[in-house]
Structure 1
Amino acid sequence: MKPSCRLYRRLPRHDSQRPSAVTIGNFDGVHLGHQAILERVRAHGLAHALAPTVITFDPHPRAFFARRTGRPEKAPAQISTLRDKVQEVVRHGIQQLAVLRFDERLSSMSPETFIEQLLVEGLNTRWLLVGEDFRYGHKRAGDIELLRQAGSRYGFEIETIADVPDAAGQRISSSNLREALAAGDLDRAHALLGYPYRLTSHVGHGQKIGRNIGYPTLNQPVPERFALRNGVYVVKVHGLSERPLPGVASLGVRPTVTDTGRRVLETHLLDCDLDAYGKLATVEFVRFLRDEEKFPDLPTLIAAIDDDARRARDHFAFHEL
């Protein structure tokens, strides 16, 4: 059984002086490149009696700077919710996870202070794994050489890791994953992640329109700049039953029934009606069916949903759940 993980929202730690094997990154999506990093940290930590540790940030630093400069459209699309990211990182054997709020204080921290407060005082770092182009501190002024100098002074070792390629020799990156999701290319996303793309969030109340037209839905919020393409998907829903439940889901702004412009994920469970309000559900995206559309009236919308549900049933008739 894997050891439990301690979650920290600020450093230094309040409950431990244990020496740590550390890596730093955003880990949005936790793709195969990230997983190689996590495995290296886990293996080194366990081999040297160090706590395998990740430092990550919320929000994404680029999202913070995009908002601060009044250009929110420059923020990277968000691949995973914080909950999904944490769960995936922990699944790979990480024993300490520091989720630090990226704010004005952190963005203006000098590289030297970054090393001293987060790595040395914060985690008693003895070994640090970073990418070859890793930058940190105010205006990204810190580099690998400064880390090596600090390591000699404070007693920690630096190891760098090169990019991880996919089967075709292409670099595995969050940017490539965002491109696949923006295109609704779930096969490519699966290949980059090593697992099916999914989203976990609590089920909330909707406008009950789906129930009124014979298609009750689970309504779940998505990140403001969610990476996945708007549209209709064949899905599996986990967490509401002992077995995955088949469904068809619509991601988008629901242009036929509302003009709020707020994106939401609405999932209709096939041949299953249950009260899931307030429960945590994971929607696994299986197949892209079509783009979101604005229909002239409800009968036309219902006819389209009928066809979506039929196609989802056909999918599960040929593929085991």
Structure 2
Amino acid sequence: MNRTPSSEFQIAESLESFPASLKGGVVAIGNFDGVHRGHRAVLDAALGLGRGTHHPVFAMSFEPHPRTVFNPAKPVFRLTPPPLKTEMLRVCGLDGALILPFTKDFAAVDANAFVQDILIDTLGISHAVTGYDFHFGRARQGTPDYLRAAGAQHGFGVTIVQREEDENADVISSSRIRDNLATGDMAEANALLGYRWFFESQVQHGDKRGRDLGYPTANLRMPEDCPLLQGIYAVKVKVGENWYGGVASYGRRPTFDNGAALFEVYLFDFKGDLYGKTLRVHVVSYLRGEAKFDNAEALISQMDRDSEEARAALASLQPLSEIDLKLLDFAS
């Protein structure tokens, strides 16, 4: 029976809490870290099928990242931590998301049990959409061909989306985007994402040195495993419901204390108290590397130049995709 998609995005974090309104729907399956252009090819295929059949469309994803579960000593840096990934799935137009806990026991489930117990008995799917490299079940026995055969046997459709490539025919992947962040190549990272990479963090109290320099900054802590290259960036920041342009320094302040890494943001044309507020920071472009200056005057002169360069970068900002338009207010 065809179903009408729900008007409210619904989130389930277990099979037991999966909403009845999404049952019988089209499921897009994958990890979706970053929800980059390759992931959105999978999501768009699912959305197209849902529109054509009037079935709800939802994503099935997994937390934590499987590589982190199997190698906890080297956790995978998340381009979009769980709350931001869920929001991105909502922005993409889905009706909901099922975020399943990923454990070693879950990974050991037989591929047939995954299909029968989860896809059929619990979710009652009408169609499954995955990427070309998605595997599931014990020993990764659930290949794309296995899923196709299971769909033919049990009466649900299966679509396998082929790899999404950039303009140079290189595959788009979350790992590649992480590598771009590590080299400060925000132009390529954002192009592969199809939107400006962003994070959220709560403003911390600092030593207030920026006030003395004429550049009061909001101090934000990044995850310890964040690979972002330390340096100076042009940023766009959401404070409450308002957007501000800004310039940011990510690093250890070698001119002063060479301490723990902080992401310090100076907002243009902002007045007010930010302590305790959670900011959303979209990283627009990399300006230069972190440097040590002989004195405060030299640092201030460079900060003036950095601000001018950041303002110029923000003035020429153009949307990268419909998703970018939804995430950023380009008129502000």
> Does the alignment reach a TM-score above 0.5?
yes
Q: Is residue 23 of structure 1 aligned with residue 28 of structure 2?
A: yes
Q: Secondary structure at the match of 2:279?
A: strand
- Structure 2 CA distance for partners of 1:297 and 1:108, relative to 1, 3 Å: farther
Contact map agreement 1:127 1:156 (CA 8 A) in 2: yes
Q: Which amino acid aligns with 1:247?
A: G
Shift of 1:294: 5.3
Instruction: Give the percent of matched residue pairs that are identical in Structure 1 and Structure 2.
Output: 34
Contact map agreement 2:12 2:19 (CA 8 A) in 1: no
Corresponding position of 2:279:
281
Q: Is residue 246 of structure 1 aligned with residue 245 of structure 2?
A: yes
* Structure 1: gaps of 5 or more residues: none
Q: Secondary structure at the match of 1:189?
A: helix
Q: Secondary structure at the match of 1:146?
A: helix
Corresponding position of 1:87:
87
CA distance in 2, matches of 1:154, 1:207: 63
Contact map agreement 2:107 2:136 (CA 8 A) in 1: no
Contact map agreement 1:81 1:223 (CA 8 A) in 2: no
Shift of 1:183: 1.9
- TM-score, structure 1 normalization: 0.84
Q: Is residue 57 of structure 1 aligned with residue 59 of structure 2?
A: no
Q: 1:309 aligns with which of 299, 307, 310?
A: 307
Shift of 1:95: 0.8
Q: Is residue 129 of structure 1 aligned with residue 133 of structure 2?
A: no
* Structure 2: gaps of 5 or more residues: 1-5, 318-330
Corresponding position of 1:266:
264
Deviations along 1:235-285, one digit per CA (max 9) or x if unpaired, are 11124454x312111223445556664x43221112423222343322122
Q: How many residues align?
A: 314
Shift of 1:10: 0.9
- Structure 2 CA distance for partners of 1:167 and 1:11, relative to 1, 3 Å: same
CA distance in 2, matches of 1:79, 1:15: 27
Deviations along 1:87-128, one digit per CA (max 9) or x if unpaired, are 221111111201222223323333233323432233221210
Q: Secondary structure at the match of 1:272?
A: coil
- Structure 2 CA distance for partners of 1:300 and 1:20, relative to 1, 3 Å: same
Shift of 1:213: 4.3
Q: Secondary structure at the match of 1:200?
A: strand
Contact map agreement 2:244 2:269 (CA 8 A) in 1: no
Q: Secondary structure at the match of 1:181?
A: helix
Q: Secondary structure at the match of 1:203?
A: strand
Corresponding position of 2:7:
3
Q: Secondary structure at the match of 1:219?
A: strand
CA distance in 1, matches of 2:291, 2:100: 39
Deviations along 1:3-43, one digit per CA (max 9) or x if unpaired, are 32111111143431621211111212211121121111112
CA distance in 2, matches of 1:13, 1:275: 40
CA distance in 1, matches of 2:112, 2:252: 45
Q: After alignment, is 151-160 or 281-290 more displaced?
A: 151-160
Corresponding position of 1:233:
233
CA distance in 2, matches of 1:31, 1:204: 30
- TM-score, structure 2 normalization: 0.81
| Aligned residues: CA RMSD | 3.0
Corresponding position of 2:217:
217
